[in-house]
Amino acid sequence: MDGLKYEIAAEAVLAPESPVAHRVGWGFMSLYTLAFMSTNLVFLAPLLVTLPLRVNSLVGIKQAPSSLALVAGIGALVAMFGNPFFGRMSDRTSSRLGMRRPWMVIGLLGGTVGILMIALAPNIAVVLVGWCIAQLFFNALLAALIAVLPDQVARAQRGLVSGVLGVCLPIAAVSGTFLVKLFTGNPIATFLVPCVIGGFFILLFAVALKDRRLARASRPGWSLREFASTFYVKPRTSPDFAWAFASRFMFLMAYALLTTYEAFFLLGKIGTAVADVPQQIFVGTLTQSVIIVAASLIAGKLSDRTGRRKIFVFTASIIYGLAMFAVAIASNFNGFLVGLAISGLGFGIYAAVDLALVADVLPSKDNVAKDLGVFNIAGALPFSIAPAGAPAILAIGGGNYGVLYAAAGIFAIIGAVAILPVRGVR
């Protein structure tokens, strides 16, 4: 989810100015930020806490990792292809309600139905179907919401607006875990309350939005060949892009393992009681998010002043790898918290600089959207591969989650090494 949003945001910032784009005020930015934060909220609350706990309640702690791997892996594949698909559909929508508004409403309602299915699911098969529906429709919502940036905001303000949107992810993560903690003991409420609260602000923005309208005669053509080409760039002709792709992929493999298996790590290695998991994940997420925001602001300014990108990405990946090793050896919650704090430092530095580096190594300035579509894969695919591979790593390690997070640390270190061959960026 995180890598996908970063690349979609970059595409929106670099996109040509639409006919209705204009300078926007703080009223628009406030509603847009609340809607974007709410979209993060409906995604992250189940991913961080409620989905793993629901799986655990259905199959038990021994089978839960492999069951979650199935659900999260297939759901991530649905998200990876659903987002560009609905993005294209939104670009071709000529409804009287506008181009983006219909998909915001459809995405919110459809995704909420998927979340409700998970809350009421009697078995893993229904959880899988519900999560795929949620991923599909919430990505329709996300694609439409991101498109509002190039639609409505003048190019000169996009950096400002994008920067404001950048704080939505950690705030939504903290808010989501807090809401789940608040309603611990009521399984249906833990799933649906984030959707209700987030949905209110999303619908408020959709109603207030002066949406762009597309005449039927102006609809762009539809080409399956063109759509398929979005997912490939030749490594031989664009080596810097290929190495940056590999670096991001490995970094987000580590991140995917951390976020997907936090709850099971606490249950299986730390020995946390099921009722205490939401509280501990909330505290960990809060600690991590505060450091992410601070590190991101500082690293972004330093990178701009020095004109360097690679050293920041390299350093961030190394720090994140060390954080995973710290989590791996943790024997209590305080040790786990220290690991999360270090990971916040690494992720904050990475998030601040990675987009700038990516923009500098795009193969063609005339095909920004296509190339970023390829880069989307490096952000989304780890969230499918990591859950699928985790049971094998756990089997090798005798079910020890410390081994799983040590593997995550190795992935992050490989990501650091992979950025070194890039030559087009200092």
State whether 103 and 49 are in the same domain: yes
Q: Give pLDDT, residue 203.
A: 97
Instruction: State the CB neighbour count (10 A cutoff) for residue 125.
Output: 11
Integer Cα distance of 37 and 14 in angstroms: 21
State whether 153 and 246 are in the same domain: no
State whether 102 and 187 are in the same domain: yes
Task: Choose the weakest-confidence range: 26-40, 368-382, 409-423.
Answer: 368-382
The whole-number average pLDDT for the span 53-73 is: 88
Q: Give pLDDT, residue 372.
A: 57
Residues with Cβ within 8 Å of residue 160, at least 6 apart in sequence: none
Percent of the chain beyond pLDDT 70?
84
Residue 98 phi, psi dihedral angles, 5° rounding: 115, 180
What is the SS3 assignment for the chain? CHHHHHHHHHHHHHCCCCCCCECCCHHHHHHHHHHHHHHHHHHHHHHHHHHHHHHHHHHCCCCHHHHHHHHHHHHHHHHHHHHHHHHHHHHCCCECCECCHHHHHHHHHHHHHHHHHHHHCCCHHHHHHHHHHHHHHHHHHHHHHHHHHHHHECHHHHHHHHHHHCCHHHHHHHHHHHHHHHCCCCHHHHHHHHHHHHHHHHHHHHHHCCCCCCCHHHCCCCCHHHHHHCCCCCCCCCHHHHHHHHHHHHHHHHHHHHHHHHHHHHHHHHCCCHHHHHHHHHHHHHHHHHHHHHHHHHHHHHHHHHCCCHHHHHHHHHHHHHHHHHHHHCCCHHHHHHHHHHHHHHHHHHHHHHHHHHHHCCCCCCCHHHHHHHHHHHHHCHHHHHHHHHHHHHHHCCCCHHHHHHHHHHHHHHHHHHCCCCCCCC
Q: Of 160, 182, 212, at which residue does a domain stop?
A: 212
State whether 166 and 45 are in the same domain: yes
The total of structural domains in the chain comes to 2
State whether 34 and 68 are in the same domain: yes
Query: What predicted TM-score, i.e. pTM, was given to this entire model?
Result: 0.76
Place 227 in a pLDDT band, splitting at 50, 70 and 90: low
State whether 184 and 308 are in the same domain: no
Structure token pair of residue 99: 């181009």
Residue 228 lies in a domain: no
Q: Of 180, 212, 244, at which residue does a domain stop?
A: 212
Residue 106 lies in a domain: yes
Place 122 in a pLDDT band, splitting at 50, 70 and 90: very high
The whole-number average pLDDT for the span 223-229 is: 67
Residue 333 lies in a domain: yes
Place 374 in a pLDDT band, splitting at 50, 70 and 90: low
Q: Give pLDDT, residue 136.
A: 93
State whether 31 and 82 are in the same domain: yes
Place 406 in a pLDDT band, splitting at 50, 70 and 90: very high
Q: What is the CATH number of the domain that holds 302?
A: 1.20.1250.20
Q: Give pLDDT, residue 369.
A: 47
State whether 202 and 336 are in the same domain: no
Integer Cα distance of 161 and 144 in angstroms: 16
Residue 411 lies in a domain: yes
The whole-number average pLDDT for the span 54-66 is: 89
Q: Is the pLDDT of residue 228 over 90?
A: no
Q: Of 212, 244, 271, at which residue does a domain stop?
A: 212
Q: Which residues pair with 153 in a beta bridge?
A: 22
More confident residue, 405 or 308: 405
Residue 226 lies in a domain: no
Structure token pair of residue 402: 């410390």
Task: Choose the weakest-confidence range: 11-20, 24-33, 122-131.
Answer: 11-20
State whether 159 and 241 are in the same domain: no
Q: Give pLDDT, residue 325.
A: 97
Integer Cα distance of 123 and 63 in angstroms: 13
Query: For the segment 71-114, what is each residue's pLDDT rounded down to a tens digit?
Result: 988 988 888 788 778 877 888 888 888 988 999 999 999 999 99
State whether 166 and 259 are in the same domain: no
Q: Residue 22 corresponds to which amino acid?
A: H
State whether 94 and 1 are in the same domain: yes
Q: Is the pLDDT of residue 171 over 50?
A: yes
Place 9 in a pLDDT band, splitting at 50, 70 and 90: low
Residue 218 lies in a domain: no
Q: Give pLDDT, residue 368.
A: 47
Query: For the segment 183-217, what is each residue's pLDDT rounded down to a tens digit?
Result: 888 889 999 999 999 999 999 999 999 888 877 77
The whole-number average pLDDT for the span 3-32 is: 69
Residue 402 lies in a domain: yes
Domain of residue 6, residue span: 1-212
Q: Is the pLDDT of residue 1 over 70?
A: no
Integer Cα distance of 377 and 188 in angstroms: 33
State whether 195 and 245 are in the same domain: no
Q: Among residues 125, 245, 136, 149, which one has the least CA distance to residue 205? A: 149
Residue 217 lies in a domain: no
